[in-house]
């Protein structure tokens, strides 16, 4: 038995994953809009997958989103967003557990889907390091376990803390539960480093999953006989492992046999080896289980041969895998290669193809999201794909439906590689009912009845792929979603203001805009006490939760405003640049605001214009001032790397570099706390000029910016 999955309200950013417009046909405006949708959609799915163990799309569908994002960014590098999915990992830690800040971030991996992707991965490494094809490289190859990532901290050989990945920076403390897993040693064997964080995957075998499902189904039969509500049954071993590990009662975790493979590390006071394979051998000596299928490879051909071999063994393995991971074996080369925000340059996950099945489209529903976008959702005749029952599939947008000619009553091919909502691949036309009619996409909002239109690009005359409701000020769907975004975990994170409360308060006129939330206790305390389900204690807790958020960091405040193209990462970038709310106001009020914003590394023209447009709308500004009067917005300090002479400084590279590639130089500067900008202004601190430096060098001299050559720069940062 599998859990029923629903598309959550506001599921409105999925369209670009398989949008009708090919990447090579996108205009710059199209590309910016699609990157915005992808950033929001992927962030939401990361939260559901990592934070709630309740994904609402398949692995294949999720991977398609990332592929689309990467392709657009490759074609339009200037449009890469600070909140791009390539900068993000996982989701925020659950409030049920204490939070743990990782000593070193737990990052995710980029994905490969074809042999060519793996060839490109190896070629990129050689280009980055400046290595010719004749220089040997060694890789480790290992099955990608489909479980829950965990980090185990040992001090003087004793397990002192265990944490989930969370958002990559902060996870959940699951120490008590991890101690129940027999694969994980409580004390390390031999002579281990004084501090060692071992990372790996907690998973559940097929046999154990079948046992748990049988027990749950038996319990549900008993509950049904007694008229009690049935308990949900886990959909697959991955969800079961995650749910078991994140139990509040460790006894429940102990009753379910979980396993652990060690494959990586975080903080270490001393390195037991200088290679990836050597570290895995050390883990085995310390008492960990290391996957015996891991192998070394020296060529792309050997790597791909391992992938095919594991693919053939996949069905016979006692646990789930969804691909193969390749890593550079040399730790020295790993360090040189470094990271690209959310993922290392020295590793990649080669994913397996998706599974497919046929089912029938019983209906097509239209959902309206926070931005007014109308998203079509196919209601499917329930079908089991890879052991999971699926009932819903997003149809992305009007053009996608037209391209596939999806009709109610059609038999369609769906595919999934992991969980729940599938992707519609094609229509089986020879099974189409004779009386079927093409689906007519609505031109009015199903929520408020306002016109739903497709914006037209003034330059190209091309329609946007999305149809949007024009009733932004009156449409309940948009207003409620804006408020939900405001109180969400990454924004104000107000406990007790869930989706139902927001919807109910809005419908009854208690709140219409964010400032109203902070006036509830003054204006509507009695009305709340009279509401069903709200007693004196629950109302008191709600007011306390609201008051606890009357102080908010600047980055969360900016993120909560719901500015188009601005998400969590962009908000942090803006907060680190302006530092204070007053400076943020004054900066946007400047006649050169759009240009100044574009000078911030990571903010392009599209994002800058969206921020300025938000500020220039008087009603937005009035609402913002009303909100600010209710709050104390805390200043955000500039980032700094301890002991770094360039921490917090803005640097620009121009001309050719001879000692390292431009990519490596930028990564090194950012790791030391510097901000790397693409253009020179009076706010630039240092320009590193190599041979061939042109206009940027002239700008540096014009503004009196310090200029140094590559050797001087390397001397400053320590080589």
- Positions marked catalytic: 144
CA R_g for the chain = 27
CB 90 within 8 A of CB 165: yes
CB of 279 within 8 A of CB of 249?
Answer: no
What is the distance between the alpha carbons of residues 483 and 562, in angstroms, rounded to a whole number?
9
Contact partners, residue 366, CB within 8 Å, separation at least 6:
374, 375, 376, 377, 442, 446
Candidates 377, 436, 432; CA nearest to 401 is 377
Tell me how far apart the alpha carbons of residues 707 and 697 are, in angstroms, rounded to a whole number: 8
Count other C-beta atoms under 10 Å from residue 219's C-beta.
14
DSSP letter at 299 equals S
Three-state SS at 54: coil
| Nearest by Cα to 8 from 52, 38, 59, 69 | 52
- Give the phi and the psi of residue 578 in degrees, each rounded to 5: -90, -30
**CA–CA separation, 381 and 391 (whole Å):** 6
Report CA torsion sign: 596, 601, 605, 609.
negative
Look up residue 321 and give its DSSP letter. E
The torsion angle over the Cα atoms of residues 378, 465, 491 and 48, rounded to 10 degrees, is: 30
Which phi-psi region, left, alpha or beta, contains residue 672 (left: φ > 0; alpha: ψ -120 to 50)? alpha
Query: Which residue is it, tokens 């509401």?
Result: 531
The helix-helix angle for 499-507 and 476-487 (nearest 10°) equals: 130
> What's the length of the chain?
719
């489909």: which residue's tokens?
A: 146
């Amino acid at each position: 038995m599998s859990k029923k999955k629903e598309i959550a309200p506001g599921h409105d950013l999925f369209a670009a994953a398989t949008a009708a417009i090919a990447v090579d046909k996108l205009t710059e405006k199209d590309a910016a809009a699609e990157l915005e949708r992808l950033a929001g959609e992927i962030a939401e799915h990361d939260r559901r997958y990592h934070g709630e163990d309740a994904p609402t799309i398949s692995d294949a569908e999720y991977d398609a989103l990332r592929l689309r994002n990467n392709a657009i960014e490759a074609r339009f590098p200037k449009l890469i967003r600070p909140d791009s999915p390539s900068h993000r990992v996982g989701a925020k830690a659950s409030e049920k557990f204490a939070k743990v800040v990782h000593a070193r971030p737990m990052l995710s991996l980029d994905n490969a889907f074809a042999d060519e992707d793996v060839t490109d991965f190896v070629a990129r490494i050689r280009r980055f390091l400046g290595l010719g094809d004749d220089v040997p490289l060694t890789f480790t190859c290992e099955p990608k376990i489909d479980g829950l990532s965990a980090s185990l901290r040992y001090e003087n050989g004793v397990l002192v803390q265990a944490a989930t990945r969370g958002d990559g920076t902060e996870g959940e403390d699951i120490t008590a539960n991890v101690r129940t897993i027999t694969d994980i040693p409580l004390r390390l064997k031999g002579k281990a480093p004084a501090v060692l964080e071992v990372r790996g995957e907690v998973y559940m075998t097929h046999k154990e999953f079948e046992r748990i499902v049988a027990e749950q189904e038996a319990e549900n039969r008993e509950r049904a006989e007694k008229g009690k509500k049935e308990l949900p049954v886990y959909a697959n071993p991955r969800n079961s492992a995650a749910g078991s590990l994140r139990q509040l009662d460790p006894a429940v975790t102990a009753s379910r046999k979980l396993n652990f493979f060690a494959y990586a590390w975080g903080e270490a006071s001393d390195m037991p080896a200088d290679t990836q394979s050597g570290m895995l051998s050390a883990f085995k000596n310390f008492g960990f289980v290391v996957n015996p299928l891991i192998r070394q490879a020296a060529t792309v051909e050997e790597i791909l041969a391992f992938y095919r071999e594991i693919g053939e063994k996949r069905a016979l393995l006692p646990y789930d895998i969804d691909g193969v991971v390749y890593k550079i074996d040399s730790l020295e080369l790993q360090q040189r290669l470094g990271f690209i925000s959310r993922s290392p340059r020295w590793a990649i996950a080669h994913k397996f193809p998706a599974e497919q099945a046929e089912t029938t489209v019983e209906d097509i529903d239209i959902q309206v999201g926070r931005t007014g976008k109308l998203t079509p959702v196919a209601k499917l005749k329930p079908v089991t794909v890879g052991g999971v029952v699926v009932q819903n599939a997003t149809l992305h947008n009007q053009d996608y439906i037209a391209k596939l000619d999806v009709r109610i009553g059609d038999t369609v091919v769906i595919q999934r590689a992991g969980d729940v909502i599938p992707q519609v691949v094609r229509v089986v036309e020879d099974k189409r009912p004779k009386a079927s009619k093409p689906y007519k996409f609505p031109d009015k909002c199903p929520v408020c009845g306002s016109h739903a239109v497709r914006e037209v690009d003034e330059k190209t005359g091309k329609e946007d792929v999305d149809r949007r409701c024009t009733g932004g000020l009156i449409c309940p769907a948009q207003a409620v979603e804006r408020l939900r975004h405001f109180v969400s975990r990454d924004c104000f994170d107000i406990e007790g203001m869930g989706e139902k409360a927001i919807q109910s308060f809005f419908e009854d006129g208690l709140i219409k805009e964010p400032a109203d939330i902070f006036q509830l206790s003054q204006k509507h305390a009695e009305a709340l006490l009279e509401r069903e389900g709200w007693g004196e204690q629950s109302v008191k807790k709600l007011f306390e939760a609201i008051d606890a958020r009357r102080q908010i960091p600047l980055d969360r405040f900016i993120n909560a405003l719901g500015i188009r193209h601005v998400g969590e990462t962009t908000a942090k970038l803006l907060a680190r640049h302006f530092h204070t709310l007053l400076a943020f106001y004054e900066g946007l009020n400047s006649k050169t605001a759009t240009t100044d914003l574009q000078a911030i590394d990571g903010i392009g023209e599209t994002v800058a214009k969206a921020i300025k447009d938000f500020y220039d709308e008087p009603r937005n500004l009035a609402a913002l001032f009303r909100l600010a009067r209710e709050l104390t917005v805390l200043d955000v300090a500039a980032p700094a790397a301890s002991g770094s002479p360039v921490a917090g400084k803005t640097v620009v590279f121009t001309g050719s570099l001879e000692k390292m590639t431009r990519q490596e130089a930028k990564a090194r500067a950012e790791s030391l706390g510097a901000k790397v900008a693409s253009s020179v202004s009076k706010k630039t601190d240092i320009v590193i000029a190599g041979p061939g430096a042109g206009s940027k060098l002239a700008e540096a001299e014009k503004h009196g910016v310090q200029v140094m050559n590559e050797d001087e720069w390397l001397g400053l940062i320590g080589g």
